[in-house]
Structure 1
Amino acid sequence: MTSPFAPDTLTGKRVLVTGSSRGIGAQTVTYFAQAGASVVINYRSKAVRAEKLVAQLTESGTTAFAVAADLTDDASVTAMFDTVHAELGGLDVLVLNASGGMEQGMAEDYAMQLNRDAQVRVLQTALPLLAAGSRIVFVTSHQAHFINTTETMPEYEAVARSKRAGEDALRALLPDLEARGIEFVVVSGDMIEGTITATLLERSNPGALATRKEAAGKLYDVAEFAAEVARAALDPVPADHTRYVGDTGSFTG
């Protein structure tokens, strides 16, 4: 897909995208880099994959580096932002993309640890690096954003509720962010074709993707949705701080 930005649109900007060694995060950070931004690729454990992306992005002269961090661990998050400060001096855009909760073998409350507690931890730890005019983008799904009023698939409910809890916890910080001159926007998207979450849902609930696609009329793919996430870092912030991507009729009707 063509980049959502003209060349050099983001020259001089510094961007960190959590969970960006693959999928939506990797494509989002690629769009930022193609537009001239210096980018930080955050990953938890897949160093080879992250470094491969760094190599691809730096071939064109972009400043890019990868930082490992378990976002559920205080010390790991602090160390990540210490590295970012040392390398870039600060940040202009922080994209809170990392999420999970459907993995096997994790603690029972892992979804809440990652999708709520870790999101707040990352934002608060990043605050000293974010000056007035910077922006924070939180990525979520319609199934999570509307979970209080619209049921979702049982296989996804725990994740949806934890992501909604994370969104609520971040929105509670809006007064402090606004006092600092920091902008905040939530990007809510429908099911995205080609993501790990969609694959896991399809595996546990065969036909789920096709059913949702028929109801929505269209589902975005990874590249299309990543472009919307990237644009959210520059476009005017909606009055309700929410950018909707894809059909919402099934959730608001």
Structure 2
Amino acid sequence: MTKDLEGKGAVITGSSRGIGAATAQLIAARGAGVVVNYRAKAPRANKVVKGIEEAGGRAVAVGADLTEDTGAKTLVDAAVENFGSLDLLILNASGGMEADRGEDYALKLNRDAQVNMVKAALEVMPAGSQIVFVTSHQAHFINQTATMDAYEPVARSKRAGEDALREMVPQFDEKGITLTVVSGDMIEGTITATLLDRAQPGAIEARREAAGKLYTVEEFAAEIASLVNKPGLEQAHTELVGGAEDFLSRQ
């Protein structure tokens, strides 16, 4: 594997499991030092770090709740202190279906926390850096295509987060930083898919039929990683990963 990210520092939010963890492993394998972020489950994050280190990579587990004021700065500082710089920020943390976090939690995490994280990162990111925002087709196309009731607050808040980051493009241009948006369908085996299927039995199967196939966590992580450091990406490019045809046909 090419070591094109050697000497780079990366922060991947929400990377103690699932898509974030799989992406962290792929980015570390290319030479980047990775800050593996978790909110509450330190053992899971430590396991991801151990796997990266055993494969010859560099990583550190850092606990930070992005909805808290100090969360973003904690992650930025960890990248600079451990790896010398922050050159890659992958905004993977997402949520809003948790019953115990309050009704404004989705917007707080999926929009406000994303913007705060980016603002903190911009203070140290050098020209040539990249910010990757991970979203879903259900969120990306929410203004044109309705989604399941259980997911609607999450979808609308994630779209609000994407819009807020797109509004920051002039700042990114000024600093020579590229924003890339990666939108995927429902992903097999993720906590969101599990919760949706519980709220609306048959939801996963219906989506699988409409899309033709649903990506696994590892397959989607590989798509995200393939856009990191990819030459010729336009500013604010949106990559639609799998199953978007039926969304596009409803535009």
1:251 paired to 2:247: yes
Q: Which residue of 2 aligns with 1:70?
A: 65
Question: Within 1, Cα distance between the matches of 2:157 and 2:182?
Answer: 16
Q: Which residue of 1 aligns with 2:139?
A: 144
Question: Within 1, Cα distance between the matches of 2:248 and 2:112?
Answer: 28
Query: Bigger CA drift: 42-51 or 56-65?
Result: 56-65
Q: Counterpart of 1:237 in structure 2: which amino acid?
A: L
Q: Which residue of 1 aligns with 2:161?
A: 166
CA contact (8 A) 2:111 2:160 kept: yes
The SS at the match of 1:131 is coil
Query: Bigger CA drift: 118-127 or 11-20?
Result: 11-20
Note closer, same or farther for the CA distance 1:123–1:154 as it changes in structure 2 (3 Å cut).
same
Shift of 1:8: 2.1
Q: Counterpart of 1:20 in structure 2: which amino acid?
A: S
Shift of 1:251: 1.1
Q: Which residue of 1 aligns with 2:11?
A: 16
Q: Which residue of 2 aligns with 1:45?
A: 40
Shift of 1:31: 0.4
% identity of equivalent residues:
56
1:36 paired to 2:31: yes
Note closer, same or farther for the CA distance 1:240–1:57 as it changes in structure 2 (3 Å cut).
closer
Question: Within 1, Cα distance between the matches of 2:73 and 2:4?
Answer: 30
Superposed CA deviations along residues 66-121 of structure 1, whole A, max 9, x for unmatched, are 11100001123222322322222211110000000001211110000000000000
Question: Within 2, Cα distance between the matches of 1:240 and 1:69?
Answer: 27
Aligned counterpart in structure 1 of residue 56 of structure 2, from 35, 41, 61: 61
1:237 paired to 2:249: no
Shift of 1:234: 2.0
The normalised TM-score by structure 2 is: 0.95
Name segments (4+ residues, structure 1) moved above 4 Å: none
Question: Within 2, Cα distance between the matches of 1:80 and 1:95?
Answer: 12
Q: Which residue of 2 aligns with 1:134?
A: 129
Alignment of 1:62-211 (within 5 A): 62-211=57-206
The SS at the match of 1:115 is helix
CA contact (8 A) 1:89 1:129 kept: no
The SS at the match of 1:41 is strand
Superposed CA deviations along residues 133-183 of structure 1, whole A, max 9, x for unmatched, are 010000000000000010001110000000000000000000110111000
Shift of 1:239: 6.3
Query: Bigger CA drift: 130-139 or 83-92?
Result: 83-92
Question: Within 2, Cα distance between the matches of 1:138 and 1:145?
Answer: 11
Shift of 1:127: 0.9
Question: Within 2, Cα distance between the matches of 1:149 and 1:223?
Answer: 29
Question: Within 2, Cα distance between the matches of 1:135 and 1:240?
Answer: 10
Question: Within 1, Cα distance between the matches of 2:74 and 2:109?
Answer: 17
CA RMSD of aligned residues (A): 1.2
Aligned residues: 248
Question: Within 1, Cα distance between the matches of 2:194 and 2:8?
Answer: 34
Query: Bigger CA drift: 167-176 or 233-242?
Result: 233-242
Note closer, same or farther for the CA distance 1:159–1:185 as it changes in structure 2 (3 Å cut).
same
The normalised TM-score by structure 1 is: 0.95
Note closer, same or farther for the CA distance 1:238–1:206 as it changes in structure 2 (3 Å cut).
farther
The SS at the match of 1:140 is strand
Superposed CA deviations along residues 36-59 of structure 1, whole A, max 9, x for unmatched, are 221110110100111111111112
